[in-house]
Amino acid sequence: MLKMAHDTSAPASQLIDTFRSIVGDGHVLTDAGATLPYRRGFRFGQGRALAVVRPGSLVEQWRVLQACVKANVIVIMQAANTGLTGGSTPDGDTYDRDVVIVNSMRMRTIHLIGGGKQVVCLPGATLDQLEGMLQPLGREPHSVIGSSCIGASVFGGVSNNSGGALVRRGPAYTDMALFAQVDAAGELHLVNHLGIDLGTDPEDILARAERGEFPDASINWNAGRGHDDDYARHVRDIDADTPARYNADLRRLHEGSGCAGHLGLFAVRLDTFEAEKNPVVFYIGTNQTDVLEDVRRHVLGSFSELPIAGEYLHRDAFNIAEKYGKDTFIVIRMLGTRRLPALFAMKNRFDRLFDRMGFMPSHFTDRFMQFLSHFFPNHLPRRMREYRDRYAHHLMLKVSASGAQEARDFLTSHFAQHEGAFFECTPDEGAKAFLHRFAAAGAAVRYRAVHPRTTEDIVALDVALRRNDREWFEVLPDDINREIIVKLYYGHFLCHVMHQDYVVRKGNDCMDLEHRMLPLLDRRGARYPAEHNFGHLYAAPDDVRAHYQQLDPCNCFNPGIGQATKRRNWVAESV
């Protein structure tokens, strides 16, 4: 393997000077402390970089990419850096060229087209920003739960085929994008597949896209799909021997969609969706996994109208989230999601400050927030807590107002004959149930921060189970269970996508543990990762690597994703 030196030689210095002339001194970061938040992943991954460059316009981003390609450096396109598998940060220092991180979060523009039925998003646009813009129009983006609350970018979802909780919409997908691509000869090209006529000169195209100069005559309304419009039919095929959605599904890899950073994206065009009015949430509890599987199969196979969402939560995840996700729950209830990205950013600044001080305990902000949470009263509805005491398996089924009676009738009949029960939530209970489910996604991270003496780390898997798999609940062998403190199972149950977080006991090898778990999933016909992409944690299949190589024949953008070679022109690395 070749090691990358942190090059400050004359060519590197000249490149940094070029960056400064394009974006300004304050938006070119080279100090190790200043670049650390961009070089370190949200949950996994860290590496070295020559510089972090923060363009403020699409034209600036184009010029930065031109300079990078001319200087033969690696480009890592980065937005909010909220991924879980290290896919938007450098991976160590084993590169054959210098690495430049191009962070796009200064470019947060969103343009509505077609009266808001579609949007054109620029690189820094976030899901929570898009959700807020569409709300007055009675419309929604692809995803409205989970990562949208911590400032995840629209581009991150599209680039990684991210899934989401909403059953009818499938993974984030679009045929329509504006992007930079390096060809086999090492030449940079701008490709406009937005389906909007913006001219022929690259800088004119980018300036017009940024300003939203989209006269009606320039828009081709038949240019392609703005979402996976076949997913609602696909997920209903409950007897199929394959998962409903997963990152290696070639049907959903097209240019910017699923590119995993192997293109320089400038804009994506996406569909929006009419928001449901007065949805109804049913809270279901049982101690038998077959009972929930029968619910899933009937809902998908027989309901005249697909539910909006169906989220699963195991009792252990309920309990851990109740304690270690309490402050997240309370902050969102008090302040809403709009302010959460800023609060996370402030927390990260304090974490960096305390790390530099040296004498403060590790994860001080997490421990302090956990301490404060004890002073707030119990935040979960009484009926939810009663179901926690009675049942191990919990399902939150959200349906439209028009589908509520069908769901009500089925659940009444089903639980008259099977173990378990359900109740129809009030609007407040329904909101709290789904918010509690969201809080579970970060609870393991908080547990690790608060218990460093007993916890080694977290193994986090997102797994796509076969659509016809009745044995959906994982049973681990004793030798693996002994190394785990607690297992958190939660997920998008109707899609059979499970998130599985394992808090590992101190002294155990997390990587070895994961490598022993993955063959168990292989034998079940599961696919992984389901929606967080391969990053640097998972090996991508050969056909997905071929897709990356077709997009980026020089291996200039984000090399090493899916544990592929990091070397130029996809040359195999020496062992």
Tokens linked to 433: 């149930």
Delimit the domains of the chain by residue range.
12-106+545-570, 110-274, 280-452
* 69 contact partners, CB below 8 Å, separation of at least 6: 75, 182, 186, 187, 188, 556
Is 574 labeled as ligand-binding? no
Tokens linked to 281: 């949430």
Is 199 labeled as ligand-binding? no
pLDDT number for residue 441: 86
Is 152 labeled as ligand-binding? no
Phi, psi of 352, deg, nearest 5: -65, -40
| Nearest Cα residue to 57 out of 112, 102, 119, 12 | 102
Is 170 labeled as ligand-binding? no
Is 146 labeled as ligand-binding? yes
Long-range (24+ apart) CB contacts under 8 A made by 149-152 are 149/332, 149/337, 149/340, 149/438, 150/80, 150/82, 150/340, 150/341, 150/344, 151/80, 151/82, 151/126, 151/340, 151/341, 151/344, 151/345, 152/80, 152/82, 152/126, 152/127
Phi, psi of 100, deg, nearest 5: -120, 125
Alpha helices in 72-186 (DSSP H): 127-134, 154-159
Class of domain 280-452: alpha beta
Q: How confident is the model at residue 6 (pLDDT cuts 50, 70, 90)?
A: very low
pLDDT number for residue 1: 30
Is 87 labeled as ligand-binding? yes
Is 572 labeled as ligand-binding? no
Residue 246: count of CB within 10 angstroms of its CB: 22
- The average pLDDT across 214-218 equals 95
Is 79 labeled as ligand-binding? yes
pLDDT number for residue 148: 46
Its pTM stands at 0.90
Class of domain 110-274: alpha beta
197 to each of 190, 204, 208, how far by Cα in Å?
A: 14, 11, 10
Is 192 labeled as ligand-binding? no
Domains 110-274 and 280-452 share a fold: no
Is 49 labeled as ligand-binding? no
- The average pLDDT across 92-105 equals 94
- The average pLDDT across 214-226 equals 96
* CATH code, 12-106+545-570: 3.30.43.10
Question: What percentage of residues in the chain have a pLDDT greater than 90?
Answer: 73
Please state, in angstroms and rounded to a whole number, the distance separating the CA atoms of residues 354 and 359.
8
Q: How confident is the model at residue 364 (pLDDT cuts 50, 70, 90)?
A: confident
Question: Average pLDDT of the chain?
Answer: 91
